[in-house]
Amino acid sequence: MEKVSKAYAMAHAKCPRCRKGNMFANSMYGFHTQKMNKSCPYCGFVFEQEPGYFYVSMFASYALNVAEMVAAVIAIYTFTHNTSSPWLYIFLILGVSVILSPFNFRYSRVMLLYWLTPRGVKYHPEIKPLPTYHQNEGQLK
C-alpha cells in the first residue's frame, strides 16, 4: 500500500485513519453548502466521535479568523501606510472574514480530527476499502 503523508492528507481534507476517503462531500467554494460526510467513504471511520464533537472546532475557527484578520491588517498597512481611515480596515476585516469562512469551517474540523482527537486516531495504510466505495467518485453508493 502506498503511504500518504499527514500534511498531504490534511491539506486535502482526507480521513485521518486511511488518508484516502474525503471528509467533505463537496468542494470548498461553490454554489452549494458545506457538507461533511458522516463517515469515511473509504474505511467507514465515523468523523463525529460523540454528540457535539465539532463544537470545539468553533474555537479553532475563531483562532484562524483572528490570525487571518491580523495578517490582512498588517498587509494593508504595509502597502498603503493608511492610519487615518478606519473604514478601510473595517471593510477589509469583514471581506476577509466572509471570503475565508468556508476555509475556516473546513480546516478547523480537519485540525480537530488530526490534532485533538481524544482516542488518538492512528494511520492505517493497510485498510481495505468498503465494498460500497467507488474509486472514481470517492463517495458511498
38, 1: one domain: yes
C-alpha cell at 112: 480537530
pLDDT recorded at residue 97: 92
pLDDT recorded at residue 141: 42
pLDDT recorded at residue 119: 65
pLDDT recorded at residue 133: 65
C-alpha cell at 115: 490534532
111, 70: one domain: yes
80, 135: one domain: no
pLDDT recorded at residue 100: 92
41, 58: one domain: no
137, 101: one domain: no
User: Within 13 Å and on the Cβ side, how many CA atoms surround 3?
Assistant: 5
* Eight-state DSSP code of residue 53: G
pLDDT recorded at residue 139: 47
Per-position b or e across 102-132, b if 16+ CB within 10 A of its CB: bebbbbbbbbbbbeeeeeeeeeeeebebeee
Which 3 state secondary structure label does DSSP give 44? coil
2, 33: one domain: yes
C-alpha cell at 26: 463537496
54, 42: one domain: no
60, 101: one domain: yes
How many domains, the chain? 2
Entry pTM: 0.77
28, 76: one domain: no
pLDDT recorded at residue 125: 67
Residue ranges for the chain with pLDDT beneath 50: 138-141
44, 81: one domain: no
Domain that holds residue 136: 1-48+119-141
63, 18: one domain: no
34, 2: one domain: yes
